[in-house]
Amino acid sequence: MKILVTGGAGFIGSNFILYWMKRYSNDKIVNLDCLTYSGNLENLKEVANNKNYTFIKGKIEDPIIVDKATQGIDVVVHFAAESHVDRSIKKPAEFVLSNVVGTQVLLDAAVRHNIKKFHHVSTDEVFGSLELNNTNKFNERTNYSPRSPYAATKAASDHLVRSYFITYGLRITITNCSNNFGPYQFPEKMIPLAITNILEGKKVPVYGDGLYVRDWLYVKDHCRAIDLVLQKGKVGETYCVGGLTEDINNLAVVKKIIQILGKEESMIEFVKDRPGHDRKYAIDWSKIKNELDWEPLHSFDEWLEKTVEWYKTNESWWRRLKSKEYQEYYKEQYGDLD
């Protein structure tokens, strides 16, 4: 089988390629990625010289490159996207181009080349925000209600993908997954930002009152969910994928990280809140459990500790990323936080 992975140099995409090539060593992988600030080929050095792995540098919104990359492909797994909510608030146009136009260009090529399966990797953020004090969760029937430019562009891409199933008969599947954590996550997202700031002796910025809730899933469990959907998922269907955490808020997550690193809670600094900040995400993953026998295998506490350990032992990886361009973003986002 020959798989085109888009965005394979990013956090989840690179974990997915490493996961896939270990398990299905005869499959061929083509990684199409334009290497934005969050794309990093170092994540893939383990497979760089594997004869079954090819890298193409290019944008998914470029029809010529996409047409070339799609030739001879059996399956597309589409990760490429601008992925950080805070950046989407500052520069939404880049999100529309990559996440919406890019997805449409890729879908057109998939139809033209009779791709056997097109899997779209999406997010729970398309569903909007839950209330803090009730037990509701998102599921496959929840109405879309995106509230950030990032979530709105991912929602648009989900709609496009479904429309290509209905209109052109493209054999699609979609996963809407909750917040991932693990190795190779760019240190602008909350968990790696907290870990690396503490390792650098800097404060950890916590937005607003810190009582925002996310549903955390270890990245390998997400990769396994995509694998199962590709193997056994029903064409045209959506699967919600989530973790094992129940109502853990950001402040509690940051405190756990501080405790693992043996530091003081005075490292926490409450900063200005994110505009339109979604209060809570929670996923009901019973459909993928019942139909495909998937469930998370990695507990939050144990794998948070392992993730902290990974950032401790891979300091050169993240130090380089926290360099010039990132410093400019950081200064604009957090002001003079030290």
* Residue 11 interface partner, choices ligand TYD, ligand NAD, none, CB cut-off 5-8 Å depending on type: ligand NAD
Cβ–Cβ under 8 Å, residues 260 and 204: no
Query: Helix, strand or coil for residue 117?
Result: strand
β-partners of residue 283 are 138
Active site residue 125: yes
Q: Which amino acid is at 152?
A: A
Nearer to ligand NAD, 98 or 173 (CB): 98
Q: Tokens 């459909």 — which residue?
A: 287
* Residue 206 interface partner, choices ligand NAD, ligand TYD, none, CB cut-off 5-8 Å depending on type: ligand TYD
Q: CA-to-CA distance for 248 and 209, rounded, in angstroms?
A: 14
Q: Which residues contact 176 (CB under 8 A, 6 or more apart)?
A: 122, 123, 124, 126, 127, 138, 140, 158, 238, 239, 240, 241, 283
Active site residue 124: yes
Closest approach of ligand TYD to the CB of residue 205, in Å: 4
Token representation of residue 293: 């026998």
* Residue 61 interface partner, choices ligand TYD, ligand NAD, none, CB cut-off 5-8 Å depending on type: ligand NAD
- Please provide the distance, in angstroms rounded to a whole number, between the alpha carbons at the two ends of the chain: 49
Site for ligand TYD in 12-51 (CB under 6 A): none
Cβ–Cβ under 8 Å, residues 21 and 45: no
Site string for ligand NAD, 187-226 (x = CB under 6 A): ----------------------------------------
Closest-CB residue for ligand NAD? 10
Active site residue 207: no
Catalytic residue set: 124-125, 150
The residues binding ligand NAD (CB under 6 A) are 7, 9-13, 33-36, 38-39, 59-61, 79-83, 98, 102, 121-123, 154, 177, 179-180, 186
The residues binding ligand TYD (CB under 6 A) are 85, 179, 189-190, 193, 205-207, 212, 214, 250, 274
